[in-house]
Chains A and B, each alone.
Chain A
Amino acid sequence: MSPEISNQSLLFLVVFVLVPLTLSYYYQLGLSKGIIWSSIRGTIQLFAIGYLLTYLFDLPAYIGIPFMLTIMITVASFHARKKGEGLPSVLGIIFIGLIVIEVSVLGLWLLFDMIEFTPNEVIPMSGMVIGNSMIAMGLALERLKSEFKENEGRLTAALSLGAEPKQASQIIIQRTLGASLIPNVDKLKTIGLVQLPGMMTGLILGGVSPIMAIKYQLVISLSIFSSVSLSAIYITLMMYKYFYNNRMQLKHMEFDQ
């Protein structure tokens, strides 16, 4: 397979957009506008990122990497924050968490000589870690809010029995963390069997040997697993206390579900 896809070939991708478009029209789903808009937007975004990356890869590493990582973490923070609507300081807490996780993971990669400090290695790998951490934080926030809402009676019972907020929230913290981690454990179990992970597929298409591609995939999969776990634990432990006031009473906040 050629790693090159010509622009003419790309044009034929329209066919892949026409399928859902036709279905939407035929079954009157009212999604046509959304399908066209998201396809165009996605294409433009990807090309823009392609050109930006080409530019960044040419810059010295100490400029290009911090610049792109800052953009990634900022965008990811604003995105994950939506799931924590109504919770105070959530943007700052997510932002700091993503920085700490990214810097730690990157530090380990460099320390153990898994990748080199060059934009073309650090940026795509970090993007995967930041993106997955962002999703994990968003899911944990969403779950935390719904758990607090559903378990108000139990929490009131625990507080009335003399529990401090941390003790009262124990069940909710466990359930939130479980819900955030279980999908990742399952994903790791079936890795390579159900579908070849994206990064590995990309490397193989690019001409790298499958064994080498697997090594990279292992680095990224385990790094993601670890950062997703850390993200969920971090955001849960940082945010549960905002559901209480300093008099150990439940705040009755109105959260968007």
Chain B
Amino acid sequence: MEHDKLFTFDHVKKSPLHSLNFSIKRGENVMLFGPSGAGKSTLLHLFNRLSDPEKGSIYYLGKDLQSYSITELRKQVGLVMQAPNLFPGTVLDNLKYGPSLDGDWNDARAEALLEDVQLPADYIDRSVDQLSGGEQQRVSLARTLANKPSVLLLDEPTSALDQHTTEEIEQVLEGLAVEQGVTLIMVTHHLDQAKRLGSRGIFLSEGEIVEEGNLADLLSNPKTEELQAFMT
């Protein structure tokens, strides 16, 4: 198994997903899209073992995903959900959550993390209840980044945000991918967003990969009726 392949799915089945076979290379930014119920979020949770396949195997850097320490894997393959799901307390409490689990936190890191997600440094001591939806989502992203993940799973992180905030978050994600080499695997409903952030596209419908490949090619020349219908 070559190590340029970050993830390899080998006949993976997990309801509603059927037999999935595909690989993701290091540095590819993969956009998962498709109609509701296609199994996009289910697929995303398989990458960091928030759930496991019923059949088949997943490989990460050439080794079976199940052979990694589950807590270490989840830190390396971070997840940002649709809702921020912040913990009660301050912004700092949230930022240090992941690293503190191993006693590996220094408050000095908070400022840089907030800068990464374009929030002012004086937000550190704010209660999360006082933040707007967009700010909460940025704290949620920073909280995941605090673990220094090499892969970032994103489950429609901007679906509840306005256009302006969405653009800001997209800039942050782009920066992470380009400057820090983080691989993005993102579920999105918006094809425009997929085009802006992704290099590769996987179109899912009813638990199956209907089309996949270079994102620009995929969207400029859809081969199946399902993708054509989804794009209109």
Contacts and interface: CB of A to CB of B under 8 A. Distances in A.
Interface string B77-107: 0110101011110000000011001100000
Contacts of B83: 153
Nearest to B70: A248
B71 A248 contact: yes
A154 B136 CA distance: 13
A179 to B, nearest CB: 15
Interface string B34-77: 00000000000000111110000000000000000011101100
Interface stretch (A56-64, A157-165, A184-192, A195-203): A157-165
Given A161-B144, A171-B88, A247 B52 contact: yes
Contacts of A153: 81, 83, 85
Contacts of B86: 154, 157
B200 interface: no
B147 interface: yes
A158 to B, nearest CB: 7
A156 interface: yes
Contact of A249 (B49, B72, B78, B98): B49
Given A158-B97, A160-B79, A161-B147, A247 B49 contact: yes
B151 to A, nearest CB: 12
A21 B29 CA distance: 70
Interface string A93-115: 00000000000000000000000
B71 A154 contact: no
A172 B74 CA distance: 21
Given A167-B101, A171-B88, A160 B78 contact: yes
B143 interface: yes
B98 A161 contact: yes
Nearest to B75: A162
Given A154-B85, A158-B87, 10 more contacts: A153-B85, A156-B81, A157-B87, A160-B48, A161-B98, A161-B147, A162-B72, A163-B97, A249-B49, A250-B50
Interface of A: 153-154, 156-164, 167, 171, 247-250
